[in-house]
Structure 1
Amino acid sequence: MSTVPPPSPKSQEPVLQPELLQVGSVEDEPCLRADAARNRARLLEAAARLVAEHGANGVTMEAVAAAANVGKGTVFRRFGDRTGLLTALLDDSEKKFQAAFLSGPPPLGPGAPPVERLRAFGCALLRRSVDQLELQLAAEPSPDRRFSAPPRRVLLSHIILLLRQAVPEADCELLARTLMEYLSPVLVHHLTRQCGMPMERVEAGWCYLVDRVTATSDQSRSAQLP
């Protein structure tokens, strides 16, 4: 297991190790009773069918309960609210993505230089957002939870780790939060759907941003010279 370097003096907020964070709730652990696990799988299967047939807007707690032939209270007890249900739908994809950047092959996984990994990380996350955009937008946390949702904290911690390896003298936590906003599904929707930008341009913008953020002071001054 990799070890995250200690937080820089500039931050008052501890940085969590990505591999220690969970995507779902504690109820997602293997200790679920067999019947509860089957019920959860049946509810998620029903929700996935609704997304495929009607889009993410067709996924309501009532609709999922009807499709799974259970009471509405069962769905609320299992997932809490609609955001919790949609987040659970994304859970498998999230875990696979985490495995890829934590222990998969380079450049996304360990073994490549940190800047190269950071480029690959952003491009992979952008592509995943485009592939699941409607569901990603529907599962977007409310404003009071947006920056504290466990999956987002995992991604943020990974960016901080790579920045600390690439530019240890920088305020890596602040830079990481800025970079995270470029990868937001809301911005991806605006750029690709509303502005009509091709993904190639969006990915190139990410790589350019990473290169500028990780440039040393000397490199930055050189880039400004005529």
Structure 2
Amino acid sequence: MNAVTQREQRPERPDAARNRAKILAAAGEIVRARGVDGLAMADVAAAAGVGVGTLYRRFGDRSGLAYALIDGRERHFQAAFLEGPPPLGPGAPARDRVRAFLHALVDRTAEQLDLLLMAETATPSARFGGAYAAYHAHLSMLITEAAPGADAGFLADALLAPTAAPLFAHRTREGGWTTERVTSGFDELLDGLR
């Protein structure tokens, strides 16, 4: 077992939990006041009353801090599509769930776009971490149910592509697209899914 796995299994110390909460509150306030570009590790550490080393040990870098800020909203979103009410959650036909999922994902992406942009562009494969894997598995399962015989894995990637933060930011900020246009485009694609 490696050190990361051992550390993940240990419960968080109360002082570490307090520091984490202070850091995330300070970082959230800085993002609200200055935007993501104003998120400097030294400023976050000073606002939280912790050392910069503590911040780097805990989050690694700005993208790690961005992921931590994204985490609460992401957990809420995943709970909604895994166990929430239909049509986003279980209990609706698969096609309806795919549509509801994609519409909710567009809203979720728009809500934290700058943080997602920072997090997803930190490394070449940063986008394809935990949340993407969960989305892909969820969509693949629903597509398989809705269209047996379809290449569910490919279709899941194709449906997730427009919500990649760099493309979403480019289309909505520079291309003038609205979230309604993106969801409407998804609706057109899904109408062709047989």
**TM over 0.5, shorter chain:** yes
Tell which has more relative contact order, 1 or 2 (C-alpha 8 A, sep 6+).
Answer: 1
Moved over 6 A (4+): 25-30
Deviations 1:66-101 (A, max 9, x none): 211221110011111211110000100000000000
Which residue in the other structure is 2:150 paired with? 170
Q: Equivalent residue of 1:139, what SS? A: helix
Mapped contact 2:19–2:50 kept (Cα < 8 A): no
- Please point out which of 180, 185, 188 is paired with 1:205: 185
Aligned amino acid, residue 102 of structure 1? L
Which residue in the other structure is 1:75 paired with? 55
Are 1:42 and 2:25 matched, yes or no?
Answer: no
Which stretch has the larger CA shift, 103-112 or 184-193? 184-193
* Cα distance in 2, alignment partners of residues 74 and 192 from structure 1: 36
1:126-145 equivalence runs, <5 A: 126-145=106-125
TM-score normalised to structure 1 length: 0.78
Q: Equivalent residue of 2:126, what SS? A: coil
1:15-164 equivalence runs, <5 A: 31-164=11-144
Note the C-alpha offset of 1:30.
8.4
Q: Equivalent residue of 1:142, what SS? A: coil
* Cα distance in 1, alignment partners of residues 166 and 6 from structure 2: 28
Mapped contact 2:45–2:55 kept (Cα < 8 A): yes
* Cα distance in 2, alignment partners of residues 99 and 89 from structure 1: 17
- Structure 1: any 5+ residue segments left out of the alignment? 1-24, 216-226
Mapped contact 1:115–1:211 kept (Cα < 8 A): no
- Structure 2: any 5+ residue segments left out of the alignment? none
Mapped contact 2:127–2:164 kept (Cα < 8 A): no
Note the C-alpha offset of 1:209.
1.4
TM-score normalised to structure 2 length: 0.91
Mapped contact 2:120–2:126 kept (Cα < 8 A): yes
Higher CA-based Rg: 1
Q: Decide whether aligned partners of structure 1 residues 29 and 99 sit closer, same or farther in structure 2, where only a CA change above 3 A counts.
A: farther
Q: Equivalent residue of 2:89, what SS? A: coil
* Cα distance in 2, alignment partners of residues 98 and 48 from structure 1: 21
Q: Equivalent residue of 2:176, what SS? A: coil
Mapped contact 2:106–2:163 kept (Cα < 8 A): yes
The percent of aligned pairs where both chains have the same amino acid is 45
Deviations 1:107-150 (A, max 9, x none): 10011111111011011110121122222212224343235311
